């Protein structure tokens, strides 16, 4: 199909160019749905009985953006790849041809399938060698908005990702007149291996937003000398800045919507009064976004492809690899800006909803750079019981709690601080639930921002058993050495997988002992987030905040080996990755 699709893309591109003026070269590779103003064209699909057959070809292609040359990885000729549109209850046969000069893979993110079809080289299959075609085949047992991407090296950073939509067998519990896919991503002209090497040398390499002497004196006037000095000393001792929000920033990234840079202004058309469904997919390598559409309320109807009780919001934070479907109802005959601001405010992706092509609305101003508070260090913010801050990296074992006014050492550590070795520079002394917090920088915006605590599934799920056992896992890191791990051990340092017993119901508790948000992804099985709801929301990716402790319930119904990892690409590469092995009982046939 690729020839037809490419021709189509180019034709749409030319029309788009005429309508929108000069475009950078990257946009020449934008997929058809970035230009299509009504509906979203999908990859060509042939039905053979109950089977839908789709061909995907992976290839590097040259491009220019501004005056700069680049060679992204394209899928059927575009970045992002085409919409793979499947149907619940049918079987998908996806034939993936590798025209790169290295191995590749496609992982179908969030899809329940036999583990040999999951697409993780070294875990579920050997990968797809250059020149080869691998055929994935699986039956769709779910519906909703998902995505697909490479699980080989750092290819995802080079454009190897695309949207995956599964249409439901039964009607959805909400209605809409238009349906747009909105793929958010981060593009860099740097070689991703070079980005990773820079992070290894200096974690703060891309962080140009560190605090200045002016910020210091502002704090002094607000908090006084002593408190300011002590707080700065704590951050300094951790070799951290309270502005370390994202490792890789707008200093190297161009943020894209459907492959289009902000000035190219992806546009979705509507007629006033229509209900427009926007399927937001965060296909970034490293970027959390705060999404809003000034002038429009957004009603969240799905999270990670799963229906939820509708939640009206003004803004939501979307972690890497998460998806949210929202419905908006623009009533006025004017343009609205779709604004996706990087969490650290170092840049944004931008598009427009408009009644006619070529319109635009004001782009909001960049907000102040947020700073992490003491909660990020796992300290209770209620002013009591805020135990110690342990550092074990670099041989320093300073307990810092006694240096902090109003903090009480005696109230100690919830988990042995030195269990995790040098891979864990710190342990959150009092980790706690942060499910009702929207996240750093959104706390006092005055807008209704989505929190995980808002998500109520339209269950019930079939497995209502209480978990029979609990597994606790710490998210650990040593920023200084750019080490990221679980329980202080990089993937290369562990010799055994995490074992689930086939058919068991278990509780997985995650404690974030680091100062960063980590979007944690389990392949092959849902995680039901324990957020107090009677029907827990099912998610494939859960962002765990700094100093946070949360639990999910899992039914281990998928035999085989599954990847479990942080979805920040460079954290995964650094070692924040495990294999979960769902093992059948010997008694099972």
Cβ 398 to Cu ion, closest distance in Å?
25
Distance CA 195, CA 229 (A): 33
Q: Which two tokens stand for residue 319?
A: 């972690």
Task: Specify the DSSP element, H or E, that contains 95.
Answer: strand 91-98
| Binder of Cu ion out of 568, 569, 579, 580 (CB under 5 A) | 568
From residue 519 to residue 558, the character string flagging contacts with Cu ion as x (rule: CB under 5 A) and all else as - is ----------------------------------------
In this chain, which stretch among 59-67, 181-189, 255-263, 560-568 interacts with Cu ion, using CB under 5 A? Answer: 560-568
Q: CA 38 → CA 2, 41, 179, 276, distances in Å?
A: 21, 9, 8, 11
Cβ 214 to Cu ion, closest distance in Å?
31
Cβ 40 to Cu ion, closest distance in Å?
31
Nearer to Cu ion, 180 or 205 (CB): 205
Nearer to Cu ion, 235 or 570 (CB): 570
Nearer to Cu ion, 350 or 571 (CB): 571
Distance CA 23, CA 10 (A): 13
Distance CA 323, CA 280 (A): 5
Cβ 484 to Cu ion, closest distance in Å?
5
Nearer to Cu ion, 56 or 479 (CB): 479
Q: Which two tokens stand for residue 127?
A: 């990968």
- Number of residues in contact with Cu ion, rule: CB under 5 A? 4
161-167 and 178-188 as β-strands: parallel, antiparallel, unpaired? unpaired
Strand partners for 511? 474, 549
Query: If you compute the radius of gyration of the chain from its CA atoms, what whole number of angstroms results?
Result: 23
Cβ 574 to Cu ion, closest distance in Å?
8
Cβ 359 to Cu ion, closest distance in Å?
39
Residue with tokens 């919830």: 414
Cβ 477 to Cu ion, closest distance in Å?
7
Restricting to residues 500-519, name those near Cu ion by CB under 5 A: 518
Answer yes or no whether residue 571 interacts with Cu ion by CB under 5 A: yes
Answer yes or no whether residue 279 interacts with Cu ion by CB under 5 A: no
Q: Which two tokens stand for residue 398?
A: 């300073």
Distance CA 255, CA 258 (A): 10
Q: CA 268 → CA 37, 335, 497, distances in Å?
A: 6, 10, 45
Answer yes or no whether residue 123 interacts with Cu ion by CB under 5 A: no
| Binder of Cu ion out of 291, 327, 566, 580 (CB under 5 A) | 566
* Residues belonging to the chain: 589
Nearer to Cu ion, 144 or 547 (CB): 547
Nearer to Cu ion, 118 or 513 (CB): 513
Nearer to Cu ion, 77 or 393 (CB): 393
Instruction: Give 344: exposed, middle or buried? Use CB within 10 Å, 0-12, 13-18, 19+.
Output: buried
Residues that bind Cu ion (CB under 5 A): 518, 566, 568, 571
């Amino acid at each position: 199909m690729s020839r037809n699709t490419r021709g189509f893309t180019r034709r749409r591109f030319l029309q788009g160019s005429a309508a929108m003026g000069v475009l950078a070269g990257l946009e020449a590779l934008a997929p058809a749905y970035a230009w299509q103003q009504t509906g979203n064209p999908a990859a060509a699909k042939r039905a053979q009985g109950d089977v839908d057959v789709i061909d995907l070809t992976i290839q590097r292609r040259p491009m220019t953006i501004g005056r700069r040359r680049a060679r992204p990885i394209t899928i059927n000729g575009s970045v992002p790849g085409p919409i793979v549109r499947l149907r619940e209850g049918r079987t998908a046969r996806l034939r993936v041809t590798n025209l790169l000069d290295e191995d590749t893979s496609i992982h179908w993110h969030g899809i329940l399938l036999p583990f040999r079809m999951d697409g993780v080289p070294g875990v579920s299959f050997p990968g797809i060698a250059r020149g080869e075609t691998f055929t994935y085949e699986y039956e769709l047992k779910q519906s909703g908005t998902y995505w697909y991407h490479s699980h080989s090296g750092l290819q995802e950073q080079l454009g190897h990702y695309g949207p995956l939509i599964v249409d439901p067998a039964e009607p959805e519990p909400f209605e809409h007149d238009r349906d747009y896919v909105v793929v958010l991503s981060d593009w860099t002209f740097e070689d991703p291996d070079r980005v990773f090497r820079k992070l290894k040398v200096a974690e703060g390499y891309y962080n140009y937003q560190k605090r200045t002497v002016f910020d210091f004196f502002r704090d002094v006037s607000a908090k006084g000398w002593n408190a300011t000095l002590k707080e700065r000393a704590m951050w300094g001792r951790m070799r951290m800045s309270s502005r370390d929000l994202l490792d890789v920033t707008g200093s190297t990234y161009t943020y894209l919507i459907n492959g289009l840079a902000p000035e190219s202004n992806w546009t979705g058309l509507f007629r006033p009064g229509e209900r427009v469904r926007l399927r937001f997919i965060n296909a970034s390598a490293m970027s959390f976004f705060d999404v809003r559409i000034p002038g429009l309320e957004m009603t969240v109807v799905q999270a990670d492809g799963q229906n939820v009780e509708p939640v009206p919001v003004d803004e939501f934070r979307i972690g890497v690899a998460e998806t949210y479907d929202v419905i908006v109802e623009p009533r006025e005959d004017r343009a609205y800006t779709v604004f996706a601001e990087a969490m650290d405010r170092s840049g944004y992706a931008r598009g427009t909803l408009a009644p006619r092509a070529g319109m635009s609305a004001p782009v909001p101003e960049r907000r102040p750079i947020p700073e992490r508070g003491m909660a990020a260090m796992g300290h209770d913010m209620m002013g009591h019981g805020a135990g110690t801050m342990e550092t074990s990296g670099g041989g320093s074992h300073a307990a810092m709690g006694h240096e902090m006014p109003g903090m009480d050492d005696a109230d100690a550590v919830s988990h042995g601080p030195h269990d995790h070795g040098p891979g864990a520079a710190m342990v959150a002394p009092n980790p706690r639930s942060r499910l009702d917090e929207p996240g750093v920088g959104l706390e006092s915006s005055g807008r209704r921002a989505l929190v995980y605590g808002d998500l109520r599934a339209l269950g019930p799920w079939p497995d209502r058993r209480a978990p029979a056992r609990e597994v606790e896992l710490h998210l650990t890191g040593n920023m200084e050495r750019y080490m990221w791990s679980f329980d202080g051990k990089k993937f290369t340092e562990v010799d055994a997988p995490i074992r689930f017993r086939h058919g068991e119901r278990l509780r997985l508790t995650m404690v974030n002992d680091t100062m960063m948000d980590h979007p944690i992804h389990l392949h092959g099985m849902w995680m039901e987030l324990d957020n107090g709801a009677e029907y827990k929301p099912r998610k494939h990716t859960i962002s765990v905040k700094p100093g946070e402790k949360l639990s999910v319930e899992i039914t281990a119904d998928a035999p085989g080996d599954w990847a479990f990892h942080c979805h920040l690409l460079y954290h995964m590469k650094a070692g924040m990755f495990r294999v979960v092995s769902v093992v059948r009982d010997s008694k099972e046939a």
